[in-house]
Amino acid sequence: MSVDFYVAAPATEWPSASAAQKCMSDQGYPIVIDRFPAFKTGQINADGALVRLGDDRAYLEGALSPSDAAPAEVALINERLAVVGESFRISSQHALMTVHARSATDVRAASYVISGLIICFGDYGFEPQGNGHGRLDFAKGLLAMEQNLRNRD
């Protein structure tokens, strides 16, 4: 299993690790962020994120970069959004976080992190496998997916 997620946010508003953790706590998500990528203008941060979901640890492999540093990914996402009639586009003013979730635990943890970034900070999410995208409705869909995965365990 492997699922990719993307989050676009205004680069000047990318949250700190403590702001992201406060968001998760405020939302009541059972997740603790041990490491969260920091945005640095003109640089790619390929550290990913480390989180705990209950007793499980998850490494959310990926990168945080200025959107200009990922032109192929941005073009693909924007093209797919155009095809479905979505008006949002990733621009040069955005930071783009990619997350590659490789296990059910990673997918569950990514669902919380991505939905939190969308709900708390107004970011925009995209999941290319199912062509899911958006803000609040997309975030709610991620949380429903997490619930389904949790019920399987």
Do the beta carbons of residue 62 and residue 43 sit within 8 Å? no
pLDDT tens series, the chain, 153 aa = 689 999 999 999 999 999 999 999 999 999 999 999 999 888 999 999 999 998 999 999 999 999 999 999 999 999 999 999 999 999 999 999 999 999 989 999 999 999 999 999 999 999 988 889 999 999 999 998 777 767 765
For residues 133 and 100, give the distance between their C-alpha atoms in angstroms, rounded to a whole number.
16
Q: Which of 114, 101, 104, 106 is nearest to 143 (CA)?
A: 114
Q: Which of 47, 49, 38, 44 is nearest to 65 (CA)?
A: 44
3-state secondary structure the chain: CCEEEEEEEEHHHCCCHHHHHHHHHHCCCCEEEEECCCCCCCCCECCCEEEEECCEEEEEEEEEEEHHHCHHHHHHHHHHHHHCCCCCCCCCCEEEEEEEECCHHHHHHHHHHHHHHHHHHCCEEEECCCCEEECHHHHHHHHHHHHHHHHHC
Residues constituting the chain = 153
pLDDT of residue 153: 58
For residues 71 and 60, give the distance between their C-alpha atoms in angstroms, rounded to a whole number.
22
pLDDT of residue 28: 95
Classify residue 31 by burial, with Cβ atoms within 10 Å: 0-12, 13-18, 19+: buried
Total-model pTM: 0.92
For residues 65 and 52, give the distance between their C-alpha atoms in angstroms, rounded to a whole number.
23
